[in-house]
Amino acid sequence: MKKSQVTVGIIGFGTVGTGVARILLEKKDELKRRLGFPLVLSKIADIDIKKKRDIKLPKGILTNNANEILDDPEIDIVVELIGGVHPAKDFIIKAIKNGKHVVTANKALLATEGSNIFAIAKKNKIELGFEASVAGGIPIIKVVREALVGNRIKTVYGIINGTSNYILTKMTEEKVEFSQALKEAQALGYAEADPTFDVEGIDSAHKLAILASLSFGIPISFSKIYTEGITKITPLDIDFASELGYKIKLLAIAKQGNGEVELRVHPTMLPKEYLISNVDRVFNAVYIDADAVGASLYYGRGAGEMPTASAVMSDIADIARNITTGSVGRIQGIGMPEKPNVRIKHTDDIVSRYYFRFWAIDKPGVLSKIAGILGAHNISIESVIQKVRKKEKAVPLVMMTHEARERDVRAALKKIDKLPLVSGKATVIRVEAREE
C-alpha cells in the first residue's frame, strides 16, 4: 500500500529522542524537499513528560503511554529509543505485530534478542532499521549492507565504544591511571556511574555481534565473542607500547577465513602510523578489508544526541521511502544468514602477535628461562625491552612475539608465571599489525 505521507512516533524522549524530534520538526521542509513527501512526527512517549527539554513541541504530542503510539493506526514508523531489554523488546514486538515499521538504536537488545526480533519482523513483512545501534553517526550498517554488496568482507575491526576510547586517550596523553581517567570521563558525562558495559568491552561486543552478522552473513553471536575490557591497562604498558611504535585501543575484531569466523573484543596494540590509531577521544572508527574495495575506514562520532539522531533519521528516511514507493522489504535484513552453520573460532585457536610484560628479578638467566619456555610452546620472540636495572629486584621485562596461537600463549604463561624469578602474573596485550 503506497502512502503520500509517513507518520512517525517516538518512544523514549531522552537525549537521542530529543535529537530525532529536533530533526523531524526543525528540518521538516528540507526533509520534504529531499524525500518528495512529508514526514510527520505525531507522538512522543516517555515515562517522564514533565522534565524540561530544550525543544519546542507542537501541542498534545507528548504522552506517558507508549500504547498511544503502538495502537495508533495513523503511525507508520515507531522509533524505539528507551534502550535496555525491557520493556523495549515488548514495545518493538507489539509495534511489529501492529504492522508498524521499527527504528531502534538498541544494540544491547539486538545483540541478545535480535535473532528472534528480526525473525518476527520478517514474518510480518516489517522493516527494522538499526543504523544507530553500531558506531552512532557512522553509517556502517548502510555501508556493509548496500555499498559493499559486491564484496566478500575479510576483516572488520573498529573502535566502537567512545567511553573507553576517551579513557585510553586520556591515559595516553596525560599518563594517568585508568581509575583517574574514568573519573574524568564520568565528570564529563562520557561514562556512566556504572561504567561496566563500556569499560569491560560488553558494549563493543554488542555492536560487534550485529556488525559481524551483517558482514559475514552469520547469526548474531554475542555470547561467543571473547571479551576483555580496558580496566587492567596501565600507563606503564601504554609507554612501552609507544616505545615500540604502537598505540593501545579497545578494538572489536571480526575476521573470516577458512570457513571460520573469529570474534573478539580486547585492548589491542596498533602501529602508530595506522589511521585508526589516531582516532582519539570519543570518536569511533570502523576499518573494513574486503575483496573488491580493499581497505577502507569510516570515522565519526559514535554517540551523542545529534550524531545518533542523524543515524536514526537515515533509517526513518529509508523506510519512509519504501513505504511511499510500496517497496517495503527491498533490502534483505539481518536475521537471514547466508551461512547459518559457520563455525565461530574457539578463542584458543586465535592466532595473533602478542605483547607480554613480566615482573622479572634482574638476575642472569631469567631471560633465557622465559625465552626457553616460550620457544618450547612455538612462540618466537620478535623483540625484548629491559631498560631498568635493579640487581636482584623485580623490573619490567617486555617482549613482542611473532604470530602465535592463543592456546600456546596461555600454556606458556602459566609456566612462566610460576617461575621463582617472576613475580605476579604476566600482562598480555594482543597486537594487530596488518597492512592498512
The gap from C-alpha 189 to its chain's centroid, in whole angstroms, comes to 19
Q: How far is the CB of 26 from a copy of itself (least distance, A)?
A: 10
If we measure between CA atoms, which residue out of 31, 429, 393 comes closest to residue 264? 429
- Out of 107, 207, 224, 255, which one is annotated catalytic? 207
Q: Is 207 a catalytic residue?
A: yes
Q: How far is the CB of 35 from a copy of itself (least distance, A)?
A: 7
Identity of the residue, 119 or 295, whose beta carbon is nearer to a copy of itself in the bound complex = 295
> In sequence order, what DSSP letters do the residues of 257-285 get, joined into one string?
ETTEEEEEEEEEEEETTSGGGG--TTEEE
377-399 burial, b for 16+ CB within 10 Å, e for fewer? bebebeeeeeeeeeeeebbbbbb
Identity of the residue, 240 or 299, whose beta carbon is nearer to a copy of itself in the bound complex = 299
Beta-sheet strand order (sheet of 39-45): 62-63, 39-45, 6-11, 77-80, 101-104, 128-129
Based on the number of CB atoms within 10 Å of its own CB, is 334 exposed (0-12), middle (13-18) or buried (19 or more)? Answer: buried
What are the φ/ψ torsions at residue 433 (nearest 5 degrees)? Answer: -140, 55
d(CA 166, CA 286): 16
Q: What are 127's three cell numbers? A: 522493516
d(CA 281, CA 307): 15
Q: How far is the CB of 133 from a copy of itself (least distance, A)?
A: 14
Residues of this chain that bind a copy of itself (CB under 8 A): 19, 23, 27, 30-31, 33-36, 131, 137-139, 142-143, 146-152, 217, 273, 275, 278-279, 283, 290-301, 304, 306-307, 309-311, 313-314, 317-318, 321-322, 324-327, 329-332, 338
Identity of the residue, 37 or 359, whose beta carbon is nearer to a copy of itself in the bound complex = 37
Identity of the residue, 299 or 355, whose beta carbon is nearer to a copy of itself in the bound complex = 299
Q: How far is the CB of 148 from a copy of itself (least distance, A)?
A: 7
Q: How far is the CB of 22 from a copy of itself (least distance, A)?
A: 8
d(CA 213, CA 229): 22
Identify residue 311 by its one-letter amino acid code: A
Identity of the residue, 142 or 415, whose beta carbon is nearer to a copy of itself in the bound complex = 142
Identity of the residue, 239 or 280, whose beta carbon is nearer to a copy of itself in the bound complex = 280
Q: How far is the CB of 328 from a copy of itself (least distance, A)?
A: 8
Catalytic residue IDs: 207
